[in-house]
Amino acid sequence: MATLVDNTALGADALEALITRLGDPAWLAEERRAALRTYDATPFPTARDELWRYTQLERFAIDALDLVERPVDATVPERISMRITDSDAEGVMVLKGGDVVHADKRITEAGVVFTDLRTAVREHEDLVRKHLYGVVSAGHGKYAALNAAFWANGTFLYVPKDVEVELPLGAFTTGDRGGLSNGRTLIVVERNAKVTFLDEYTSEPFDDRLVNTGATEIVLGDGAKLRYVSLQNWSRNVVQLNTIRAHIGRDARLESLTVSLGGDAARAQVEVRMDGPGSESEMLGLYFADEGQHYNQYTVQHHAADHALSDLLFKGALRDASSAVYSGVIIVDPKAQKTDAYQTNRNLLLDSESNAVSIPQLEIKANDVKCSHGSTTGPVPEDQRFYLMSRGLPPEVAEHVLVTGFLYEVMSRVTLPKVAEYVERVVQAKLGVPGVREKL
């Protein structure tokens, strides 16, 4: 049984040094200190914890890692430069080791704030103070407490009421050295506002091991609409733990997509709370693991209000002795009558050494609801593979056709063509389609 060990470098002295370096206001410094106390008092998860039972915990160890304070250099990685060039975004930021190394903001809508979180604390303090830690707090687990105390920078997006941002906005988080890095995203979309945001994590290969923790807080006012994408394509020496939580107001809608393609291991914890009647959440997830990668997904669809809708579809493919864990729960509160909630997880195994664990769950406390859940895990049907190869397709092309066809159910619901095209190219590269890897 794996036992994780606290990092002795994550103490009060390290936190005070961070507070001084960042010049935090008094209220934020106190929030960080309280989060550190919570971190110290919270044990690491173990294999006996239901939410972590099948997780390869040793891959998420943080002992002996130093805090990443600055990047080695301020250049933008080539793969991110190519993504920016290919983007139709209205604003793009690149964060590296806690520093902003690129910012291109062409926002024309009045009142929209899109900046890094450090700058937002200085220039929009009242807004940040009102919402920071309100959705993802130190009480949401050991790694959430770590992030709440030691985050170095991140992204802040604010869209005032009745404003629609026509083109997407995007932030890239990257790294170029080993250690422990912590970033945070805060998105506030006021009443009847609308925006699309891409949160991407990627890097060029480097030598040492990097562990990245992330926390994304989403607040949607009544009638607000947000399309949110979290796309993880780190280099293979990186481990990520990301918590994404949203509070959704009356008649508001969140469309979220969580993609895991890179890194050595990654855990994505995606939770939505439907606080207002008529609120809606579409939760899509896609992952493709190879060469021993380990992906872990945990989701919550929490219906706290009546007449709300949530629909979840997570699909993944695995090969080369890789593993994946999906655990999800639909929670329906007693007052959340007329709930519609659906949860589906499907896994495709491309070899006999890979494995997937799927645990869908329901906790229903109301009596007038429509709820369903289900999962499937299985190998590629050999008759389908044989049929494609009998028509002249080489084995790697036949496998590509089968995998992309399997994942199409998710990709067909992604309303961002550039994102869909990029994910398709990464999948092709992992399947060994000639000439694709060079384009990433």
One pLDDT digit (tens) per residue for the chain, 440 residues = 457 888 878 999 999 999 999 999 999 999 999 999 999 999 999 999 988 999 999 999 999 899 998 898 999 999 899 889 888 889 999 999 999 999 998 898 999 999 999 999 999 999 999 999 999 999 999 999 999 999 999 999 999 999 999 999 999 999 999 999 999 999 999 999 999 999 999 999 999 999 999 999 999 999 999 999 999 999 999 999 999 999 999 999 999 999 999 999 999 999 999 999 999 999 999 999 999 999 999 999 999 999 999 999 999 999 999 999 999 999 999 999 999 999 999 999 999 999 999 999 999 999 999 999 999 999 987 888 777 888 888 777 888 888 889 999 999 999 899 999 999 899 888 887 765 554 55
Count Cα atoms within 13 angstroms, Cβ side, for 390.
Answer: 6
Q: List % helix, strand, coil for the chain (3-state, nearest 5).
A: 25, 40, 35
The per-residue pLDDT for 438 is 46
Helices (H), ranges, 169-243: none
DSSP string across 173-186:
EE-SS-EEEEEEEE
The per-residue pLDDT for 383 is 81
The per-residue pLDDT for 260 is 97
Cβ proximity of 144 and 215 under 8 Å:
yes
Q: How many residues does the chain have?
A: 440
Number of neighbours of residue 392 by Cβ within 10 angstroms: 8
The residue with tokens 């945001």 is 197
DSSP string across 251-301:
T-EEEEEEEE-SSSEEEEEEEEEE-STT-EEEEEEEEEE-TT-EEEEEEEE
Instruction: Please give the distance of CA 190 from its chain centroid, rounded to a whole number.
Output: 22
C-alpha to C-alpha distance for 264 and 291, rounded to whole angstroms: 9
**Which secondary structure element, helix H or strand E, spans residue 144, and what is its range?**
helix 142-150
The per-residue pLDDT for 106 is 87
The per-residue pLDDT for 395 is 76
Output DSSP code: residue 364.
E
What are the contacts of 43-49 at 24+ separation with CB within 8 A? 43/142, 44/3, 44/4, 44/5, 44/6, 44/142, 45/4, 45/141, 45/142, 46/1, 46/2, 46/3, 46/4, 47/1, 47/2
Instruction: Please give the distance of CA 419 from its chain centroid, rounded to a whole number.
Output: 15
C-alpha to C-alpha distance for 69 and 98, rounded to whole angstroms: 7
Integer CA distances (angstroms), 92 to 16, 110, 246, 388, in order = 31, 17, 22, 42
For residue 65, what are the contacts with CB-CB under 8 A and spacing of at least 6?
A: 7, 9, 178, 179, 180, 209, 211
Cβ proximity of 324 and 316 under 8 Å:
yes
C-alpha to C-alpha distance for 64 and 236, rounded to whole angstroms: 19
